[in-house]
Amino acid sequence: MKWNIKDAEHWGWKKYPEGALILEGGNAAYYKTGGWRTDKPAWDEEKCTQCLICWISCPDSSIIVKDEKWDSFDYDHCKGCGICAKVCPADAISMHPEGGEE
């Protein structure tokens, strides 16, 4: 975190950058929206054809691709919308209740 915004809510007026400027573009990544989920995606490596359509369809940039290969879900940010499971042409992603046994 280049710009330390922990406790920003409690800062005195002098501490806020002028003009309400957000100094570190992209720092939303430090805000975890994973807690929004009620359903969690799971990936089946066997079925995956590495088409990467899930990656390009995710509203939350929550599918990580490394070296042109499917790597992982970013569970810190995944909101469990289920788009990835729906668009996967190989049925390689399935949704499961968050915290449930299945």
Partner 1 sequence: MATIKELSRKPELLTGGHRLCAGCGASVAVRQVLLGANDQVIGGIATGCLEVSTTPYPFSAWKIPFIHNAFENAAATISGVESAYNALKRKGKIEKEMKFVAFGGDGGTYDIGLQSLSGAMERGHNMVYVCYDNGAYMNTGIQRSSSTPFGASTTTSPAGKVRPGKPQQRKDLAQIMAAHNIPYVAQASISHWKDLVKKAEKAFSVEGPAFLNIMAPCPRGWRTPNEITIEIAKISVQTGYWPLYEVEDGEWKLNFKPKALKPITDFLKPQGRFRHLFKPGNEHLLETFQVEIDKNWSRLKKRCGVE
Partner 2 sequence: MAKTATKQKIVAMTGNAGCAFAMKQINPDVVAAYPITPQTTIVEEFANYVANGVVDTEYVNVESEHSAMSACIGASAAGARVMTSTSSQGLALMWEELSIASALRLPIVMQTVNRALSGPINIHCDHSDSMGARDMGWIHLFAETAQEAYDNTIMAIKIAEHKNVRLPVMSMHDGFITSHAIDRFEVLDDADVKKFVGDYKPKHSLLYDPNEPVTFGPFAMPAFYYEQRKQLRVALDGSKDIVMKVTDDFAKLSGRQYGLFEEYRLDDADVAVVVLGSTAGTARYTIDAMRAQGVKVGMLKLRVFRPFPAAELAEALGKIKAVGVMDRSDTAGSLGGPVYTEIKAALYNSKLRPAIQGYVYGLGGRDTGPDQIETVVNDLVKVVKGEESPREAVTLLGVKE
Residue 94 binds partner 1, judged by CB under 8 A: no
**What are the phi and psi torsion angles at 29 (to 5°)?**
-60, -25
58 versus 92: smaller Cβ distance to partner 1: 58
Residues in contact with partner 1, counted by CB under 8 A, come to a total of 44
If one asks whether residue 98 binds partner 1 (CB under 8 A), the answer comes out as no
Instruction: Decide: residue 82, CB within 10 A, 0-12 exposed, 13-18 middle, 19+ buried.
Output: middle
DSSP state letter for 38: S
The residue ranges that bind partner 1 (CB under 8 A) are 3, 5, 8, 20, 22, 24-33, 36-37, 50-53, 55-62, 65, 68, 74, 76-83, 85-87, 95
